[in-house]
Chains A and B, each alone.
Chain A
């Protein structure tokens, strides 16, 4: 009975989404940031099968209208600005306590996907903040918490699209007196013991733990290591260097004091979205990292006490403290996509990429910008209420 009710509620939505995704669409906006450094005035996107099939530019006087004859629908947003949908690299949206394991600290085989609930109301909150894709990730309470899942959350997505990265944590949250490790040095030693054990034995002799950790060695599987303090950052960088891990750091609150080491390592850094009361040093960190040539991303979209988007507020404060706007946009689009090796699919509005598009009234880092609509895989996912949102025309009425 319950399943029937759920199917009754979800099926129309799914069918509409599928049908929408199948129909070709011409999307017109005033300006688009194809990538963080590439801007196009008066673009038209031809979207088909959930992908951006082609991108063209309209004439200044509106005389030329590319794709009008090819598209079954035309969405015209006037002078609005389009960017790629945001990618939240470490999202922890799950029921409390569902994204970590309490008994063991090394649980690399766990899959965050298993804690994914497509019907959480929080997903809609993410859409209306411009987040179209996430990595549902284990939290910081395990030394190796498990595999993060790349997915586009909501009722249309029932399982993860990709295995994203192995989440590790060297932060204090991981320490637990009732299990190993109980200190930072113990944690590093534990990891070293596992990695060295893999090297000493042949694959048939590996235990399940070693089998799960082995793909990380020699740059196989991407590893995300949460590290906050200077000691944790140094320990993480040592591990990365010693075992040649393909890694990125998460958190890095005291990164300003380890700039040289971070620059030398050259690995990306994923900063948690700023709290309103963050110290000035934290606000300046993205600019300092970017200046040092270190790729920076933001993660942890949620609603703050004012109801503002934390990713956008982080972009604003990072720019206010010296980060170029293009780098701020990259921090929520192309850099996370690059970290996940998904740059050919998400994080930009180039030909061949997924049609995950956010339409803004201004540049998204401007706090006066309003999100007008969100398209995901070519489907209109969310639309701002009010008359300024969109002007939709069908092929018959296409100009």
Chain B
């Protein structure tokens, strides 16, 4: 109930106890809705299902459906979060016997009511410790979910005031690399629910950091070198896995052999069992090469002539020592007169395998593993770039390395290369600009104008606040994009589906819950009348 405290008439209905407001038939003209369930039997099934909620509004928007919604009064059927049907006024009969589904008619109190998916802030600072906002030095393995502070206060204004029901929280804002963020749902009426996010973040350029042309040219190189390192890591891991398989085979053979030929008292333990122990000296772990007169001559060339005689003497002494050791080892290994070796005694022992050495595992690197997921198309990559040439370079690299899922973050000059972005099939996350660096060309009303240019070109885009309370500006920003010529449906899609998908998760109907508005959601006088998260329909007293 905490979230309703700002409202004059706060009401909370559990879906099971929601009152049925519709008693009679609406007299408006029937309309043809492109989306919905055609079969009357299925409608009857829905009406008999107690888990289904019918909501009537004067207009609705759903980015999932092909028609994106309707501007005529309709009945919408929901099972859980998912919209399972849209019916025109004449399709749904008056409430009858045996009907179990709940009905809620918002058009009576609010004739211009709208239903939209909950909006999503694609980059939010909510639930992060403010001290960590500017934290640097993170890497792609740091997850936001482990850093969230769900006890923060004030977030409940977002769903009630602006219809923002979901926020995507990164692990930090200051870091140039950050691991998967967390999608937090705010519409549940209780504490925020953090679900898994998925996008990795790489800042390749920043509008607040001064950069020369040379630096900017390296933008794609930075990403390429990271991807190359990931590939090399993958190769090393693959090799190690192969070696390990071989080791398993050899070990099995080794054990089998000794199981069949157990050691007797006095037998030597099999050699090659343990790797040589590393000493503490400077050259520990390294064997000196076998010295020969030719090698000595080669080594001496590295030293100045005045030192060569002294070094030659030392090396020759070393060579003699090596030769003596080798001779001694050979003599020990040779069979002594009149005595047979152990292997000679037992012919079976000749075939005894050496104990195999466990292959050295390349050190696990979560950063590179995360990047490999990006290359495999399993994880989304958010790349912050701003200038047109940076965007072009990153798009070319994405094409070359076949990065399937990518979102351009910031992209202040995306309006210049909108066509190329559309061809590459990536989306754009627009952010507030902090400092305008020389050479960065911003349009007047830049974020809105950028959005409008992208919308005109058919590029998918979304908005992020990079703040907390400032998320309430996102619908204003979207509306400003409409003022600059963007299609209203494209902008509503940006606020809901595109923003949700930019977190790396796939959209499905009702993923961000549903919001009932008193009128067109962009109108300044619009109020949130209800929030539906699939389990509960929270009715609000109009917000004033």
Contact = CB atoms under 8 A, between A and B. Distances in A.
Interface of A: 128, 276-280, 304-308, 313, 315-317, 319-320, 322, 325, 361, 365-370, 386
B449 interface: yes
Nearest to A278: B469
Most buried by B among A306, A317, A365: A306
Contact of A307 (B154, B433, B475, B524): B433
A395 to B, nearest CB: 32
Most buried by A among B449, B476, B480, B524: B524
Contact of B522 (A304, A325, A368): A368
Interface stretch (B46-54, B275-283, B402-410, B438-446): B438-446
B524 A365 contact: yes
A364 to B, nearest CB: 10
B139 interface: no
A34 B433 CA distance: 36
B483 interface: yes
Nearest to B478: A367
Most buried by A among B161, B468, B476: B476
Interface string B58-78: 000000000000000000000
Given A276-B470, A308-B445, A366-B522, 11 more contacts: A276-B472, A305-B432, A307-B442, A307-B443, A307-B448, A308-B447, A308-B477, A320-B161, A322-B544, A366-B524, A369-B483
B432 A317 contact: no
Contacts of B476: 308, 313, 316, 367
A324 to B, nearest CB: 9
A347 B448 CA distance: 29
Contact of B472 (A305, A317, A325, A366): A317
Most buried by B among A280, A304, A305, A361: A305
The 8 A-B residue pairs whose C-beta atoms are closest, nearest first, are A305-B432, A367-B479, A276-B470, A370-B483, A319-B524, A277-B469, A307-B446, A307-B445
Interface string B507-544: 00000000000000011111000000000000000001
A52 to B, nearest CB: 27
A319 B524 CA distance: 6
Interface residues of B, number: 37
A70 B15 CA distance: 66
Given A305-B432, A308-B445, A277 B483 contact: no
A308 B526 CA distance: 20
Interface of B: 6, 154, 157, 161, 432-434, 442-449, 465, 467-470, 472-473, 475-477, 479-480, 482-485, 522-526, 544
B71 to A, nearest CB: 15
Most buried by A among B434, B470, B473: B473
A381 to B, nearest CB: 15
A93 B485 CA distance: 31
Nearest to A323: B524
B524 A325 contact: yes
A277 B524 contact: no
B483 A367 contact: yes
A289 B523 CA distance: 23
B473 A280 contact: no
B133 to A, nearest CB: 13
Nearest to A275: B470
Given A366-B523, A368-B482, A370-B484, A306 B477 contact: yes
A279 B154 CA distance: 9
A366 B479 contact: yes
Given A307-B444, A307-B445, A276 B473 contact: yes
B448 A128 contact: no
A305 B477 CA distance: 11
Contact of B447 (A128, A306, A313, A370): A306
10 contacts: A276-B472, A277-B469, A280-B161, A307-B444, A319-B524, A325-B524, A366-B479, A366-B523, A367-B476, A367-B480
Contacts of B480: 306, 308, 367-368
A279 B155 CA distance: 11
A10 to B, nearest CB: 23
Nearest to B491: A368
A368 B157 contact: no
Nearest to A369: B483
Contact of A361 (B161, B449, B483): B483
Contacts of B524: 315-316, 319-320, 325, 365-367
A307 B473 contact: no
Given A308-B445, A316-B476, A277 B525 contact: no
Contact of A277 (B442, B448, B470, B522): B470
Contacts of B161: 280, 320
A368 B473 contact: no
A306 B484 CA distance: 14
Nearest to B467: A277
A212 to B, nearest CB: 40
A276 B467 contact: yes
Nearest to B483: A370
Most buried by B among A276, A277, A278, A280: A276
Contacts of B449: 307
Nearest to A363: B524
A79 to B, nearest CB: 15
A164 to B, nearest CB: 29
Contacts of A386: 485
A56 to B, nearest CB: 30
B483 A306 contact: no
Contacts of A313: 473, 476
A306 B446 contact: yes
B472 A368 contact: no
Contacts of B434: 305
Contacts of A280: 6, 154, 157, 161
B208 to A, nearest CB: 12
A281 B167 CA distance: 23
B434 to A, nearest CB: 6
A307 B525 contact: no
A196 B468 CA distance: 48
A118 to B, nearest CB: 21
Contacts of B475: 367
A166 to B, nearest CB: 35
Most buried by B among A280, A308, A365, A368: A368
A368 to B, nearest CB: 5
A315 B524 CA distance: 9
A374 to B, nearest CB: 14
B432 A306 contact: yes
A303 to B, nearest CB: 9
Nearest to B432: A305
A38 B266 CA distance: 113
Contacts of A368: 479-480, 482-483, 522
A307 B443 CA distance: 9
Contacts of A322: 544
A128 B444 contact: yes
B414 to A, nearest CB: 14
Nearest to A386: B485
A96 to B, nearest CB: 16
B525 A306 contact: no
A369 B447 CA distance: 16
Contacts of B525: 319-320, 325
Contacts of B467: 276-277
A247 B157 CA distance: 35
A366 B478 CA distance: 12
Nearest to B470: A276
Contact of B468 (A277, A306, A369): A277
B395 to A, nearest CB: 25
Contacts of B473: 276, 304, 306, 308, 313
Contact of A367 (B157, B522, B544): B522
Nearest to A313: B476
A365 B522 CA distance: 11
Contacts of B470: 276-277
